[in-house]
Amino acid sequence: MTNLNIRHQVHYVPQQPGSPRCWAACIAMVTGRRGADSEALVQQVVVEARTRHVRTVIFGNNAGSLDVAEGPGSLATGYGFARLSRPRDFPPADMVVAKPDVFATALARGPAIALGQKLDRGAGMHRFHAIVLSGISGDPRSLTQCLLYGMDPLPGGANFRHSVVGLQGHFELHHLLYRA
């Protein structure tokens, strides 16, 4: 079997510290938005998402966060993404969630957005999180020798590189959104 080597250029857009709008920063990244004011880019996505009927929390401390139950589906629909979701498309949570071929299929079409739970979150961080996956390389038969590349919109999170199993040790994947 041939090694994988898929990489996409993504311009980093961070979310504000303590902000629950990581999903909007990820949309800004995968849709190629650029600008000096990253918070303005994120706000532009939030406003635009409302017109696309993306389900977000409107009131309280989590205002602007993606609705946990209906947000991922409405985000996929609103932006024309295909979506793989737990539990239908992935094994149970105590197993490695997605194998390299799942990521390769998604990344073959462009950068993807992973929505899930950050397992090693620090104090003050939100339970659910979104990250951008921008590439995959290595042996697709190996969960440890196949590497995923991406960007975490958390301040200071920028670029990351993890093995397929390593990423899923830090991040419990619930939804994978990619270009349809």
Q: What local confidence, expressed as pLDDT, does residue 157 receive? A: 75
Average pLDDT over residues 56-65: 72
Q: What local confidence, expressed as pLDDT, does residue 110 receive? A: 97
Tell me which fold the domain 4-179 belongs to: Cathepsin B; Chain A (3.90.70)
Question: Residue 167: which H helix or E strand, with range?
Answer: helix 164-170
The answer for residues whose C-beta is within 8 angstroms of residue 89's C-beta and 6 or more apart is 102
Coil vs helix vs strand at 168: helix
With CA atoms as reference, report the closest residue to 167 among 96, 109, 104: 96
Other CB atoms within 10 A of residue 8 CB: 16
Average pLDDT over residues 7-25: 93
Q: What local confidence, expressed as pLDDT, does residue 2 receive? A: 87
Q: What local confidence, expressed as pLDDT, does residue 94 receive? A: 53
Confidence of residue 103 (pLDDT cuts 50, 70, 90): very high
Give the percent of the chain with pLDDT over 90: 62
List C-alpha distances in Å: 148 to 99, 110, 133, 138.
11, 13, 7, 9
Token pair of 9 as six digits: 């250029």
Tens-place pLDDT, residues 136-165: 999 999 888 999 999 999 887 779 999 998
> Domain residue spans in the chain?
4-179
Q: Write down the H helix ranges in 52-87.
A: 71-79
HSE at residue 38, side-chain half, CA atoms within 13 A, is 18
Token pair of 68 as six digits: 């946990």
Identify the residue whose tokens are 């197993």: 95
CB 65, CB 21: distance < 8 Å: yes
